[in-house]
Each structure stands twice: as structure tokens, then as C-alpha cells.
Chain A
């Protein structure tokens, strides 16, 4: 079953923060976050592995709660370039497992 992301869509003003959630009904080994702009392929943001770690670089970070089978992506001080659709992809094993992509969250950052 496809992971559910929330919110479905969000509009921000430049400089505001956002949180995108990804919830799975299955046990997870990894959560991958991607951003996709219209007509382009998804761009890898980060991966979180089983262990409940938190990762981040600059203004984008993420957490992974394996017990709750959830992950959250945190965008701080958003920039116009952050606009796009964000997908989480969940993996169930440690090897090159297929990813099941979430429902997606459309993010629009305005001036």
C-alpha cells in the first residue's frame, strides 16, 4: 500500500517553514526523500535508514521514527527554489529494494 503524505499541498511565503509527513502501514528499513519539479525527474534529497536517525543539511532536514513507521521532512526559511512536489519513497529491506512512493505533497513558495 502506498505511503500517505500530508499535507497534500501547501503554499508558503518565502522564508516560512514547512513540515511534510510520510506515514507507512508497513515496517520500514529506509525512507528516501525526493523533490520533483514539473516535467522533470525526481531529485534525491536524502535517505534515512532504520535506527530512528535524523539528518539534515542547511535548511532541509528529516527524521525517521521506525516504530511509528513515519518520517518527516523539515524545510526551514523556504526559498523559491523549494517549490515542487515532494515524494517520500519507502524501502522494506537493506539491499537494493524497490521503493514505494508516497502520495506526494505539492509545495509552492511565493514572494
Chain B
């Protein structure tokens, strides 16, 4: 149990375009999902907390208009990187907290974004 999927696993896009990343909890309902970013050989940095049916809470320094987060249902959250630039290239990982044991978090497999 507690499986989280992400799609796509890898994406290459041109500078200026937008990219959408999906995060799904496959076998549980997740009232809360989290989006992280990880640079090579570094730790995970939380970008935002997403709650179903409400606006996401962004961490300090994360641009809301650049990283659009939508938590449309209890099993799906999306992250859209708008007007991507090479410095947005990174490994993006989502995690989901089960409704009944919401202090636990389970991670998706991650999305490698490369902006050329």
C-alpha cells in the first residue's frame, strides 16, 4: 500500500514553455500533498504544501506565479512550471500524506526536468 506515482518521469522542454507534472496517490486518499525540489547531491527542499480544495501554501522564496499548484482531488495534485528557464532544471518530487495517518509521507518516483 501507500503508492504514489508521478508523471512524467523525465521531461525536456525549451526555455519559455510550461510543463505540468502530475502526482497521484494510487491506493489511498491524500488530503495533503507536498512538492519538493532537489538539486544534485543536495537535500530535498520543500516548495509548497498542497491541500485538497484550497490554495497551496508556498515556502519562502518560492514564486507562486511560476510554480502553479493545483490539488483537484484527494488523489491528484499537479505542479506547473510556467515559462521555464534553464535554472528551473531540477528533480521534482511529490509526497502524499494518507488521510488517516497524516503524519506519514510517501514519495513519488520524481520527475527530472531539463530546460534547454
Binding site for B on A (CB under 8 A): 2, 29-30, 32, 34, 39-44, 47, 49, 87, 89, 91, 94-104
**Residues of B close to A30: CB separation below 8 A:** 103
8 closest A-B pairs by CB? A96-B102, A96-B32, A96-B97, A41-B110, A41-B107, A101-B44, A101-B43, A41-B109
Chain B interface residue bracket vs A: 20 to 34
Alpha-carbon separation in the docked complex, A44 to B103 (Å): 13
**Residues of A close to B44: CB separation below 8 A:** 42, 87, 89, 101
Interface of B is mostly: strand
Whether A99 pairs with B46 at a CB distance below 8 angstroms is: yes
- Cβ of B18 to closest chain A Cβ, rounded Å: 23
Alpha-carbon separation in the docked complex, A45 to B49 (Å): 22
Whether A47 pairs with B46 at a CB distance below 8 angstroms is: no
Whether A98 pairs with B46 at a CB distance below 8 angstroms is: yes
Whether A40 pairs with B104 at a CB distance below 8 angstroms is: no
Whether A91 pairs with B103 at a CB distance below 8 angstroms is: yes
Contacts between chains A and B (CB distance < 8 A), count: 58
- Cβ of A59 to closest chain B Cβ, rounded Å: 22
Interface of A is mostly: loop
Binding site for A on B (CB under 8 A): 2, 6, 31-32, 34, 36, 42-46, 49, 93, 97, 102-110, 112
Whether B102 pairs with A95 at a CB distance below 8 angstroms is: yes
**Residues of B close to A99: CB separation below 8 A:** 34, 46, 105
**Residues of B close to A100: CB separation below 8 A:** 46
Closest to B2 in A: A44
Contact of A32 among B31, B46, B105 (CB under 8 A): B105
Question: Which has the most chain B C-beta neighbours within 10 Å: A34, A101, A103?
Answer: A101
Alpha-carbon separation in the docked complex, A96 to B110 (Å): 20
**Residues of A close to B105: CB separation below 8 A:** 32, 44, 89, 96, 99
Known: A40-B110, A42-B93, A96-B97. A87 touches B43 (CB 8 A): yes
